């Protein structure tokens, strides 16, 4: 296989610097929680549904705790007290709080023995359900033929879950391995999760637990028909990142877009809120066996892919370290990158191949998700088809793990099933035609490809070393990533960040420890 001679010292120093940045940030994370993390904990112990006014009961309970200045003690502690002292289930207690019939601030502390017994019971029920989903996935994968080559990844985004299901089944039959249901525009800015099956959305479909359940059932059905496991992906980001992780774990999703920095940069969500939420969301995903995908490819939609390639690599190092701190094993870390250089620049195929190959080698223990060209796609679908073919060639030559196929109408919209069929045909044709070619090729020692890869690596290392001195917050304020500046106290959701008080407990943080995870 064609491999690059990369500077191993640069790699070690970059990884160490990223680890130091993540560890310093983790000290802040460990002292805080958020309203969305607390809502996720409530969902794990069985609180679901909405009031007559369509307010989720998880929000009702947390709003009640915030109003009475109790949230710092942790929702789990207070709900267990309520369950033990009233004899209600967590759901019934939440419904009474919603009707104004139960005030958690007025309840006495429960008997410690009864309280511990009930706490263990509630945690065990959630852990058992998620474990069962993980075992089901493992059994299904084992029952089908062994998978070879990259997993092809295709999006559906009609806004209507039932139409999404029809499209998902169709593209699965055409060869897709991962179906990603794009989330409706701006759902990441909602500080609650909508409820039930939805049929309206803009540029995507609402991420709800019922929509997850419906799509999972549909993909299981088509998996049995095809004799291979079709994976389901959604978006675990935004103000409800931990809650969506829980929903995915409960409904057996397989892949989640789950980035440590994306919400800060591209949705202007407060950095403290995002960093706390990404931690618990990744704890959930790791325990559920859900592969996370990061979103560094997005940096290149606002920044130049040639000049700013090092920021993508630096962010990948950071995402890796944050994930490891949350206990995500390497094989479940799917790092994102993209084929986004200006096609008018001479020699971009070699440069793109060099960068893709470098990412593949640097993160050889992890999965890598390679994204198609978008920024320079035009209404010229014929040129776009050629651009996608070039991208597919680089993906095959560099042995990417997850291959998001490019649509020929990417610059317009992607409404047609034919777009997906042609995209899959293009990717499969290139993969088949170039099979074995990489084994017959070698990069010229010290040539343009190696010079480019090591230049980007050195720049990423220097960026991370500077970040280690300046701190993550200051670096984000300078607009280092994607050319976007964010303030430490700015963005949406800062009011949902809570300092933990004495006696705070999140039992799932310990319950979700995995053998080999960094937080065990």
Three-state DSSP string of 181-197: ECECCCHHHCCCCCCCC
What is the pLDDT, as a whole number, of residue 378? 84
CA-closest candidate to residue 38, choices 67, 68, 59, 69 = 59
The CA-based dihedral angle spanning residues 446, 449, 454, 456, taken in that order and rounded to the nearest 10 degrees: 160
Cβ proximity of 180 and 206 under 8 Å: no
**Secondary structure (3-state) at 333:** strand
What is the pLDDT, as a whole number, of residue 514? 62
Q: Which two tokens stand for residue 477?
A: 């304020």
The structural domains of the chain, with segments of one domain joined by +, span 1-29+294-330+337-482
What is the pLDDT, as a whole number, of residue 516? 39
What is the pLDDT, as a whole number, of residue 437? 95
Active site residues: 262, 297, 369
Q: Which two tokens stand for residue 42?
A: 């409530």
CA-closest candidate to residue 270, choices 519, 45, 492, 38 = 492
Residue whose structure tokens are 């004495």: 502
What is the pLDDT, as a whole number, of residue 518? 42
Cβ proximity of 256 and 285 under 8 Å: yes
Strands 497-499 and 32-34: antiparallel
| Residues making up the chain, counted from first to last | 520
CATH 3.40.1190.20 fits 1-29+294-330+337-482, yes or no: no
The CA-based dihedral angle spanning residues 393, 399, 404, 406, taken in that order and rounded to the nearest 10 degrees: 0
CA distance 518 to 510: 12
Task: List C-alpha distances in Å: 156 to 177, 233, 261, 400.
Answer: 13, 10, 24, 22
Question: Which residues of the chain register pLDDT less than 50?
Answer: 516-520
Residue 498 bridge partners (DSSP): 33
CA distance 379 to 152: 24
The H-or-E segment that residue 201 falls in is none
What is the pLDDT, as a whole number, of residue 413? 59
What is the pLDDT, as a whole number, of residue 415? 64
The H-or-E segment that residue 404 falls in is strand 402-404
* φ, ψ of residue 202 in degrees (nearest 5): -120, 115
What is the pLDDT, as a whole number, of residue 513? 85
CA-closest candidate to residue 125, choices 275, 250, 311, 210 = 250
The beta strand positions in 439-504, using DSSP E, are: 497-499
Residue whose structure tokens are 């060099």: 354
What is the pLDDT, as a whole number, of residue 56? 98
CA-closest candidate to residue 387, choices 412, 418, 409 = 409
């Amino acid at each position: 296989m064609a491999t690059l001679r990369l500077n191993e010292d640069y790699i070690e120093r970059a990884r160490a610097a990223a680890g130091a940045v993540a560890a310093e940030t983790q000290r802040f994370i460990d002292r805080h929680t958020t309203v969305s993390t607390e809502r996720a904990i409530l969902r794990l112990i069985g609180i679901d549904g909405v009031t007559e006014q369509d307010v989720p009961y998880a929000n009702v309970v947390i709003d009640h705790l915030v109003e009475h200045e109790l949230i710092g003690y942790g929702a789990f502690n207070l709900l267990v007290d309520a369950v033990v002292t009233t004899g209600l289930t967590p759901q019934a207690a939440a419904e009474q709080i919603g009707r104004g019939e139960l005030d958690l601030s007025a309840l006495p502390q429960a008997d410690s023995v009864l309280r511990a017994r009930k706490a263990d019971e509630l945690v065990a029920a959630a852990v058992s359900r998620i474990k069962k989903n993980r075992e089901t996935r493992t059994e299904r994968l084992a029952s089908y033929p062994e998978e070879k080559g990259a997993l092809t990844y295709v999006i559906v985004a009609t806004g209507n879950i039932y139409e999404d299901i029809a499209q998902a089944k169709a593209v699965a039959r055409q060869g897709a391995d991962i179906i990603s249901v794009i989330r409706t525009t701006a759902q990441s800015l909602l500080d609650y999760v909508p409820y039930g099956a939805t049929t309206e959305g803009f540029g995507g479909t609402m991420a709800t637990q019922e929509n997850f359940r419906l799509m999972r059932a549909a993909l299981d059905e088509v998996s049995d028909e095809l004799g291979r496991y079709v994976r389901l992906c959604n978006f675990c980001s935004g103000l409800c990142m931990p809650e969506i992780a829980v929903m995915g774990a409960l409904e057996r999703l397989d892949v989640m877009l789950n980035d440590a920095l994306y919400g800060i940069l591209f949705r202007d969500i407060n950095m403290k809120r995002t960093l706390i939420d990404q931690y618990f969301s990744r704890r959930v995903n790791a325990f559920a066996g859900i592969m996370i995908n990061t979103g560094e490819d997005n940096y290149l939609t606002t920044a130049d892919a040639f000049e700013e390639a090092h920021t993508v690599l630096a962010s990948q190092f950071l995402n890796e370290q944050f994930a490891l701190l949350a206990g995500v094993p390497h094989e479940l870390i799917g790092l994102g990158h993209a084929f986004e250089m200006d096609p008018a620049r001479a020699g971009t195929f070699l440069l793109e191949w060099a960068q893709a190959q470098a990412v593949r080698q640097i993160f050889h223990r992890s999965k890598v998700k390679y994204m198609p060209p978008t920024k320079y796609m035009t209404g010229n679908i014929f040129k776009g088809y050629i651009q996608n073919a070039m991208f597919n060639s680089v993906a095959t030559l560099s042995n990417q793990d997850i291959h998001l196929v490019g649509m020929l109408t990417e610059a317009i919209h992607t409404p047609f099933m034919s777009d997906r069929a042609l995209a899959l045909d293009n990717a499969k044709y290139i993969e088949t035609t170039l099979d074995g070619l990489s084994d017959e090729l070698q990069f010229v020692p010290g040539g343009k490809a190696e010079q480019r890869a090591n230049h980007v690596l050195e720049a990423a290392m220097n960026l991370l070393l500077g970040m280690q001195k300046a701190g993550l917050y200051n670096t984000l304020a300078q607009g280092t990533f994607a050319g976007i500046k964010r303030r430490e106290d700015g963005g949406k959701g800062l009011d949902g960040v809570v300092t933990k008080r004495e006696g705070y407990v999140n039992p799932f943080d310990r319950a979700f420890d995995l053998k080999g995870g960094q937080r065990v």
